[in-house]
Amino acid sequence: MDHLRRIGQLRRRITRAGLHGLLVTHLPDLRYLSGFTGSSAALAVTSRAARLFTDGRYIAQAADEVKSAQVQIVSSSPAVAAVQWLAAQPGVEFAGFDPAHTTVAELARWKTALPSRLRRSFLAALAAPLVEPLRWVKDEEELTIMIEAALVGCSLFDHILGFLRPGLAEFEVAAELEHQARLLGAEGMSFETIVASGVRSALPHGRATQERLPRRGFLTLDFGVILKGYCSDMTRTVYLGTPRANERDAYQAVLEAQQAGVAAVSAGVRCEEVDEAARGVLRRAGLAEAFSHSTGHGVGLEIHESPRIGAGQTTRLLPGMVVTIEPGIYLAGQFGIRIEDMVAVTRTGGQVLTPAPKALIEL
């Protein structure tokens, strides 16, 4: 990864925001800029220097991973050390921090650590995030990893199809999926695996429970792996037994909505237009009310990133963004259906990263 180039891009953004420096404490941002994968660190960036602060547990790891910043090992809070370092840099009169990832208590602590004349003026809350927008657009190396992560997801789906049978507990399905994920090289799951069977499929976020898979009914699997720090995310809904006509029709409507959403993805298109492409199909099928969330979200080092593919979202898609397209319907007491792909935005359309089958599978 070209971390130095990223810090260069960040410096231009810091200057444009009228700041002299930036404190980065959100770990995914920090990893993006420095490659550091530890769990405790802060990064300080000025127009001339970049320094990463971490503690003694990470001496070897930081030396190995971090090439784009100097590393300083500290015995107290890395963020406090970073703030003090920024304040000591010549010409740095104020520095930004990201209020979306800072607690009131942390801010108070940072201020207390500053010389009293700087306490009021030195730290400035960013009006808009500076690092995150860089992360929205993936470079070629990131895309390669994300393609790989998405394909691991597809192999998991393929594997689990051979495992599913009525009577299994949902958590057994999740356990098998997660065990297999580790064997395929995943560092972990990108979120808590969703296994929602029968009437539970009507819960958009039905985590795997002790509930047993029914002889007849939908089963929604929503899962993702982390590979080299990057998250995958996909959902497939299968049927145990033979679906009734209304269930088949409902599945077809969600599939068409999902395909319309995928087809709408292209550079320059507003997120709300992609949402409407999917939502319109379900509205015409009389299922508007049953589709209770937005169509998708950005994904990358974090499972939920910007942009949000939802109504009223005017952000335009850029080549290199990776978003999910995941319309669903939820009929309480009956069933639910969701289908989700990861799609990389290209100049002329979208590249589906999760090519696992979407036609209704009956088991």
Which chain residues interact with Zn ion by CB under 5 A? Answer: 222, 233, 235, 324, 340
Q: How far apart are CA 235 and CA 157, in angstroms?
A: 9
Of the two residues 132 and 305, which places its CB atom closer to Zn ion in the complex?
305
Q: Which is nearer to Zn ion, 19 or 344 (CB)?
A: 344
DSSP state of 56: G
**Cis before 214 (ω within 30):** no
Query: CB 163: neighbour CB atoms within 10 A?
Result: 12
User: In whole angstroms, how close is the CB of 361 to Zn ion at the nearest point?
Assistant: 18
Rounded CA separation 15/53 (Å)? 22
Q: Tokens in use for 278?
A: 């999917």
Give min distance, CB of 326 to Zn ion, in A: 5
Closer to Zn ion by Cβ: residue 43 or 146: 146
Exposure string over 121-149, b if 16+ CB within 10 A, otherwise e: ebbbebeebbbbebbbbbeeebbebbbbb
Separation of alpha carbons 138 and 338, rounded Å: 26
Q: What angle do CA 40, 81, 106 make, to 5 degrees?
A: 70
Considering beta carbons, is residue 171 or 191 the nearer one to Zn ion?
191
Residue whose CB is less far from Zn ion, 94 or 191: 191
Q: How far is the CB of 27 from Zn ion (least distance, A)?
A: 21
In the bound state with Zn ion, the residue whose beta carbon lies nearer, of 233 and 272, is: 233
Kindly compute the dihedral angle of the four CA atoms of residues 96, 101, 106, 110, in this order, to the nearest 10 degrees: -20
| Shortest separation between residue 235's beta carbon and Zn ion, angstroms | 5
Q: How far is CA 176 from CA 41, 195, 233, 235, in A?
A: 34, 11, 17, 16
Task: Name which of 194 and 285 has its Cβ closer to Zn ion.
Answer: 194
**Residue number with CB closer to Zn ion (21 or 153):** 153
CB of 299 to Zn ion, least distance (A): 7
In the complex, least distance from residue 305 CB atom to Zn ion, rounded to whole angstroms: 11
- Minimum CB separation from Zn ion for residue 206, in Å? 12
Read off the tokens for 157: 């789906």
Taking the complex as a whole, the smallest distance from the CB of residue 17 to Zn ion amounts, in Å, to 30
Residue 162 C-alpha from the chain's centroid:
28
Distance, CA of 303 to CA of 195 (rounded, Å): 18
User: Do the Cβ atoms of 56 and 75 come closer than 8 Å?
Assistant: yes
